[in-house]
């Protein structure tokens, strides 16, 4: 079923809750790809009910960003979801989520400041605000997020912990093309030539992973990734960070996050790898 009204969504959620049903929730901005669908599969496996939302959230786009041109393919999205027999697709209007008198903001603190937070200062506050609202409407038992947006996953995990939300967050691995490119709705922006170059982002991370394994320190690993990327991309950031705090690492100890954001033409690409590394 398709639900557009927040009130109707909440009423349905309360009905499921009273019936003791477990509800899996996959929040999306549409333009669905195999990464999204892997989350739907996981939800269908784990829960009695699966809800997918499709909402391009204006609050997470800066004034010069691509809200107006963000890929939208509702007809194709609904066809894909029909194959999975999801129980509800929630497609609210912007005016339903943010009425004229909407005033609440969400400050997500330190985790929102490094990495994507530096160049996209409104992004995570906007994400946290809409996720919090969606959680209140869908009332999920479990919510599913891909790890391509690793920083976003950490922030939502912190939001759930800080506000004692009764939601289990389920992270899922990055889904990639055969050549290593992480799936993203924004990949639709890439020209044919850019699409051939884009997998070099993942190749750079793999080089960094090998460098870490060979005994290089975090600063050296960062430099190796940067050197590989700067030949083809405009670098937003490259970081070797603690996967729990996102603080830059000076030495390897246990797990480390290698994360990058780059521009290829007009397309911003993000990717990451987790590495397990002993102290060096």
User: How far is 264 from 184, CA to CA, in rounded Å?
Assistant: 14
Rg (alpha carbons) of the chain, rounded to whole number: 19
Cα distances from 259 to residues 136, 236, 241, 262, in angstroms, run 31, 11, 8, 10
CA angle 158, 17, 54 (to 5 degrees): 60
User: In sequence order, what E strands does 94-141 have?
Assistant: none
Contact 277, 216 (CB under 8 A): no
Q: How far apart are the first and last CA of the chain?
A: 54
Location of structure tokens 């009764």: 166
Question: 187-196 as b/e, with b when 16 or more CB fall inside 10 Å?
Answer: bebbeeebbe
H helix or E strand, kind and range, residue 124: helix 123-138
Active site residue 33: no
Give 17's contacts (C-beta < 8 A, 6+ positions apart).
23, 139
26 in Cβ contact with 50 (< 8 Å): yes
Residue 215 CA to residue 223 CA, distance in Å, equals 14
Catalytic residue among 33, 36, 228, 280: 36
CA separation (Å) from 33 to 51, 98, 188?
17, 27, 11
**Residues assigned a catalytic role:** 36
């Amino acid at each position: 079923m398709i639900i557009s009204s927040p009130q109707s969504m909440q009423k349905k959620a309360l009905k499921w809750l009273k019936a003791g049903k477990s509800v899996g929730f996959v929040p999306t901005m549409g333009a669905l790809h195999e990464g999204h669908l892997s989350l739907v599969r996981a939800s269908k496996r784990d829960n009695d009910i699966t809800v997918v939302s499709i909402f391009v959230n204006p609050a997470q786009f800066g004034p010069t960003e691509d809200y107006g041109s963000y890929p939208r393919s509702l007809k194709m999205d609904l066809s894909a979801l029909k194959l999975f027999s999801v129980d509800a697709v929630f497609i609210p209007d912007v005016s339903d989520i943010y009425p004229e008198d909407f005033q609440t903001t969400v400050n997500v603190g330190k985790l929102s400041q490094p990495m994507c937070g530096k160049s996209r200062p409104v992004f995570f506050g906007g994400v946290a605000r809409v996720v919090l609202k969606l959680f209140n409407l869908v009332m999920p038992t479990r919510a599913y997020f891909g790890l391509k947006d690793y920083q976003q996953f950490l922030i939502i995990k912190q939001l759930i912990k800080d506000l004692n939300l009764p939601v289990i967050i389920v992270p899922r691995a990055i889904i990639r093309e055969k050549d290593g490119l992480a799936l993203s709705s924004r990949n639709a922006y890439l020209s044919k030539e850019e699409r051939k170059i884009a997998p070099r982002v993942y190749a750079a991370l793999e080089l960094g992973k090998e460098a870490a394994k060979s005994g290089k320190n975090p600063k050296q690993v960062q430099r190796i990734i940067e050197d590989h990327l700067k030949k083809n991309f405009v670098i937003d950031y490259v970081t070797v960070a603690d996967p729990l705090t996102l603080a830059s690492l000076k030495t390897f100890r246990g797990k480390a996050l290698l994360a990058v954001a780059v521009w290829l033409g007009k397309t911003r690409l993000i990717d990451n790898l987790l590495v397990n590394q002993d102290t060096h």
